[in-house]
Each structure stands twice: as C-alpha cells, then as structure tokens.
Amino acid sequence: MSELSNRQMIVRTVFQIVTVKVLLKICFAKDVIPANFVFGDSLVDAGNNNYIASLSKANFVPNGIDFGGPTGRFTNGRTIVDIIGQELGLPGFTPPYLAPTASGPVVLQGINYASGGGGILNHTGNIFGGRINFDAQLDNFENTRQDIISTIGVSATLELLQSSLFSVTMGSNDFINNYFTPIVSAEEQKLVPPQVFVASMIARFKLQLTRLYTLGARKIIVVNVGPVGCIPYERDLNPTAGTSCASRPNQLAQLFNTELRNLIKELTTSLKGSIFMYADVYRIVDDMIQNYRAYGFDSGSFACCYIAGSFGGLIPCGPSSKVCLDRSKYVFWDPFHPSDAANVIIAKRLLDGDSNDVFPINIRQLANV
C-alpha cells in the first residue's frame, strides 16, 4: 500500500473517531439542544461577510472591543445567539458557514449562516454588493444537511435536526436597506404602498420558513423586526422627530410584525410536528429604549461607536470612530446594532420571558420539549 493511501486511511479513521466522540457527547450530554443553526442578518452574523466581497463588514476595530478583537460580529461583544448558546450550554460559539473551521464533525453542533445586509427579499441589501439573503442561506443549510447525511446517515440526521434549535432573525434590512433606503428607494415608496411591500415580505417568508421545515427543522424561533425607527441611524435621518423615534419605520415594522405573528400561528397549525416561536424583540427593545435608566443604561438613543450626527448615526462604526468608555451603559453599539449589554437583556428575556416576550413558549421551555 502506498504512503498516500496509508495517510488517507489514517485521516479517514481519525475523522470517524472524532465524529463518534461528537455523537456520543450529543447523545449523553445533559443539554437537550444538540445543535444550533442560525439564520439572519448583521444582528447575528458571526463573520460570514468576512469571506465575501461586501460593503457590509465588521472585521475591523473597534468592533469586538469586548470580544478580544474583531471577528465580523457587528457589535462590541457577543450577539444574541452567542449568549443564548452559552446559556443553553452549547460548546463554544456557533461558527460561520463560510469559515474554514466550519467543516468536519463541528457541523454536527450547528452552523451560523447569517449575513450582514441580508434580507427576506432577494434584492434587499443591493447597496452593499455581496450579502447572503435568506434564500441563499437556506441553500447553504441544504449543503450542510447533505454533509451531515454523508457522515451519520439519513435517520440520525433527521433525528439531530428535529432536536436542534433553529433561529431566524430577518426583516430589518428589508426596511432599512430596501424600502427606506435614502434616495434610491424614493420611487419605490411612491409606487408600492407599505401594505403591498409587507405582504410581499410575508409571502416570501412563508415559503422560506416552510422550506426550512421541509429540510428537517422542527424547533424554529422567528424573531420579529425591532423598532427600527429608534436606531441612531433612523433618528438622524429623521431630525423632525426631535428626541423621539422616527414614526414611519416603526409603523411599518409593527405592520409586518402583526402579519408575522399570524403567519407563525398558521405554520405551527399546518406543519405537523413543528414548533414555531414568535420572539417579540420589538417589545423588548422598545421597553429598553423607553426605560433605559431602569435597565442600568445612561443612553437609549446615542451610538457608543460614532463619528457624526446628533445621535451618532450618520456614519457607520469604523477605525476612525470615537468609542464610549463604558459600553455597558449604552443600548446601541453603533448606528444600527445593540451593544453586548443590550443583547444580554434581549437574550435572557427570550430564554426565560413570558408569553408577552416570546410566544407560545420561551426558548428554555422549547429546549425541553
């Protein structure tokens, strides 16, 4: 037998041993959730955009200042899904799909497909160039699913996926970087009424969530759109609102959320064995912003990482930005994204909150179903 053949056999044997160890760990672990599969936009991107040609990136300072350095996460520390994974006892952070490390036995514990600038609609985020919208993220998951089947077989794969946690954080960019994009979308806003735009989002989302179910997902958390009119970027774009949030973006977000809640109920009823959860992040974040001092923050409207604007929202966070000294005192890290401190509050309310925060059950209860 040649030296090359011996080496291939050794590699194959080592891979099989590692895979068996991972499977045994999954089977006998106290954690009910064996794997975490993440879909979404920059709110939960763990670094996929590092590997594509895109204007939507966060792999530079001061991002990650409280994480040990920039990783491609659009915040100073952890994302909501990072924190939820830690709370559920999942090993490490779920790796981004495009990272070289997201291969082999590690995929059995979940993958993060999220992409900054991504949306429900495929033309969302065009201004960034490269981004991975939800349809493409589902394509990537289908590739992962096939890799898992090749490793452990169809039956074990279906069992793994049915026990795993799936989360979808999508929709904000469809408003911020599509319908409300300054100048670019002015004509669309005239021609397409808000109700029609929202209806198109819901119709597409229904197909996408159904496809996720068809691919094997059963425990699916769907996060609604937050109060986008309250982010520093929208506040600075709408100075006539004064110190209040911009009303129109929030109105559309609420219109979408109402339809989304109905869709979640419909899917749970029609798709046998599914548990779709509606995570009301709009309610949680709005409460934080309106009562920021009660949560221990000094600011509920200004970006910690800023360059220009009354709320620090006019220019994205970058190496030339100023950074607040105590990030834990700000709801917003940059013009668009929550801080690690805010993400902790959101994550814990999704984990342990009542039906006002997450419906019909919370994530910790879902983990035990």
Tell me the β-bridge partners of 168: 39, 222
Contacts of 84 (CB under 8 A, 6+ apart): 36, 167, 347, 350, 351, 363
Q: In what order do the strands lie in the sheet with 36-40?
A: 36-40, 165-169, 219-223, 275-279, 358-359
Active site residue 334: yes
3-state secondary structure 229-281: HHCHHHHHHCHHHCCCCCHHHHHHHHHHHHHHHHHHHHHHHHCCCCEEEEECH
Asked whether the bond before 316 is cis by omega within 30 degrees of 0, the reply is: no
Query: What value does the CA radius of gyration of the chain take, rounded to a whole number of Å?
Result: 21
Q: Exactly one of 41, 82, 286, 334 is catalytic; which is it?
A: 334
Catalytic residue among 115, 280, 321, 337: 337
Active site residue 337: yes
Cα angle 314, 131, 192; round to 5? 70
Contacts of 200 (CB under 8 A, 6+ apart): 121
DSSP state of 179: I
Q: Are 81 and 93 within 8 A, CB to CB?
A: no
Would you say 228 and 249 are in contact if contact means Cβ atoms under 8 Å apart? Answer: yes
Q: Is 192 left (phi over 0), alpha (psi -120 to 50) or beta?
A: beta
Q: Which is the catalytic residue, given 41, 42, 167, 301?
A: 42
Which residues are known to be catalytic? 42, 334, 337
